[in-house]
């Protein structure tokens, strides 16, 4: 009886994930220059970078769905954090808003689990690009009541209750679960969130899509911590946000950077991380030839497993590197 060969350290080298493009009525027909992708039918609104169905593009697991790999091998991917479960912890997307998205809200963990889902959805938006005057809706105006929200849904005046933020490239916005929110036209956002696509639509501008009014009202918190987050500047990086579920950092690369140099000083043990090229490109190299070199293209993403062997990231020109790592709330 034959058996599979034992995994080797090269099996857990960093690997690139292929983006998966989803149609949305508020999206764009042409994603260039962000991606070499033109819609063949419905507009494209999202590039899913780490979805469970996203396919691994390099290395020994090439062609495998990311979610399947997490289910098969959580420990080498997550390290000690595998104790929290064998699921991919972060869903990362690029959002292209050409029209207004629906006004919506996401449930917290407790409400999601009440209705049979594993987790809720807290997220953040890093603004990659914004037209002059671009805005997002983030939370409710002070003093707005749930009854006003309900009435606004029914009579089409909900926008009057929303707190609007002017946004520009380089800003970070935090959107915790329970925050009523919407994205207005003219922005390209890097969205990092809990691995959950559970959305309750309140209002959708007459589009023929399902609304979830009762659940959206149940999920709504009249006051949340949502809003802009100022970066925390360290000697070797800018921490754009550091929350219960994720940390997002912007890390300068002076020609090359080692795997150890990518980790933050307070990371006591290896864990999963994702590296995204907001602009420019990089090359991933193994000093000991443990794995074959591969490229990180503009707007590409790679996963760095907890068990990854040593590697070097080399700036291939104009690299603007964003690093995302999962966190779990204390007590979980």
The residue out of 229, 248, 271 marking a domain boundary is 229
Say whether pLDDT at 250 is over 70: yes
Give the model confidence (pLDDT) of 139-189 as tens digits: 999 999 999 999 999 999 999 999 999 999 999 999 999 999 999 999 999
pLDDT value of position 38: 97
CA distances from 205 to 99, 117, 163, 269 (A): 10, 28, 18, 47
Domain co-membership, 97 together with 27: yes
Average pLDDT over residues 84-103: 95
The residue out of 229, 264, 282 marking a domain boundary is 229
Domain co-membership, 292 together with 203: no
In a domain, 239, yes or no: yes
Say whether pLDDT at 235 is over 90: yes
Say whether pLDDT at 7 is over 60: no
Range of the domain at 321: 232-326
The residue out of 229, 255, 274 marking a domain boundary is 229
For residues 101 and 39, give the distance between their C-alpha atoms in angstroms, rounded to a whole number. Answer: 18
Domain co-membership, 185 together with 43: yes
In a domain, 259, yes or no: yes
Domain co-membership, 106 together with 77: yes
Number of compact structural domains in the chain: 2
User: Where do runs of H (alpha helix) occur along the chain?
Assistant: 66-72, 74-78, 109-114, 146-155, 213-219, 259-262
Active-site annotation holder among 201, 237, 299, 323: 201
Domain co-membership, 223 together with 132: yes
pLDDT value of position 231: 98
Domain co-membership, 156 together with 275: no
Domain co-membership, 303 together with 172: no
% of the chain beyond a pLDDT of 70 = 96
How many C-beta neighbours within 10 Å does residue 230 have?
9
Domain co-membership, 269 together with 124: no
State yes or no: is 263 an active-site residue: no
Q: Which two tokens stand for residue 107?
A: 């449930």
Domain co-membership, 203 together with 240: no
CA 277, chain centre distance (Å): 13
Domain co-membership, 32 together with 143: yes
DSSP 111: H
**pTM recorded for the entire structure:** 0.95
CA distances from 164 to 45, 180, 204, 217, 223 (A): 21, 11, 17, 20, 14
Domain co-membership, 213 together with 255: no
H or E, element range at 138: strand 135-140
- 4 confidence band (pLDDT: 50, 70, 90): very low
For residues 181 and 128, give the distance between their C-alpha atoms in angstroms, rounded to a whole number. Answer: 19
Give the model confidence (pLDDT) of 16-50 as tens digits: 999 999 999 999 999 999 999 999 999 999 999 99
Average pLDDT over residues 234-242: 96
In a domain, 8, yes or no: no
Helix/strand/coil for 215: helix
For residues 240 and 247, give the distance between their C-alpha atoms in angstroms, rounded to a whole number. Answer: 8
């Amino acid at each position: 009886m034959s058996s599979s060969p034992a995994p080797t350290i090269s099996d857990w080298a960093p690997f690139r994930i292929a983006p998966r493009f989803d149609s949305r009525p508020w999206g764009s027909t042409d994603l260039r220059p962000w991606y070499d992708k033109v819609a063949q039918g419905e507009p494209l609104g999202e590039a899913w970078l780490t979805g469970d169905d996203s396919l691994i593009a390099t290395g020994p697991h090439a062609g495998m769905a990311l979610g399947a790999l997490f289910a098969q091998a959580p420990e080498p991917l997550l390290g000690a954090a595998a104790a929290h479960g064998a699921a991919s912890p972060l869903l990362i997307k690029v959002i292209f808003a050409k029209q207004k998205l629906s006004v919506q809200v996401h449930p917290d963990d407790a409400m999601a689990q009440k209705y049979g889902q594993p987790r809720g959805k807290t997220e953040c938006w890093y603004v990659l690009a914004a037209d002059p005057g671009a805005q997002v809706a983030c939370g409710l105006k002070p003093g707005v009541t749930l009854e006003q929200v309900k009435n606004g849904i029914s009579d089409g005046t909900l926008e009057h209750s929303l707190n609007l933020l002017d946004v520009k490239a380089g800003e970070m916005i935090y959107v915790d679960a329970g925050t009523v929110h919407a994205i207005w036209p003219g922005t390209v956002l890097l969205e990092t969130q809990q691995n959950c696509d559970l959305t309750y639509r309140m209002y959708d501008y007459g589009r023929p899509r399902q609304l979830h009014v009762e659940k959206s009202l149940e999920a709504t918190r009249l006051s949340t911590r949502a809003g802009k987050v100022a970066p925390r500047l360290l000697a070797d990086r800018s921490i754009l946000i550091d929350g219960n579920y994720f940390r997002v950092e912007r890390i300068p690369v002076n020609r090359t950077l080692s795997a150890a140099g990518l980790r933050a000083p307070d990371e006591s043990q290896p864990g999963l991380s994702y590296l995204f090229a907001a602009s420019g490109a990089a090359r991933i190299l193994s000093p000991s030839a443990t794995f074959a070199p591969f490229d990180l293209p503009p707007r590409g993403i790679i996963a760095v497993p907890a068990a990854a062997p040593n590697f070097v990231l080399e700036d291939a020109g104009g690299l603007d590197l964003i690093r995302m790592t999962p966190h779990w709330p204390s007590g979980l």
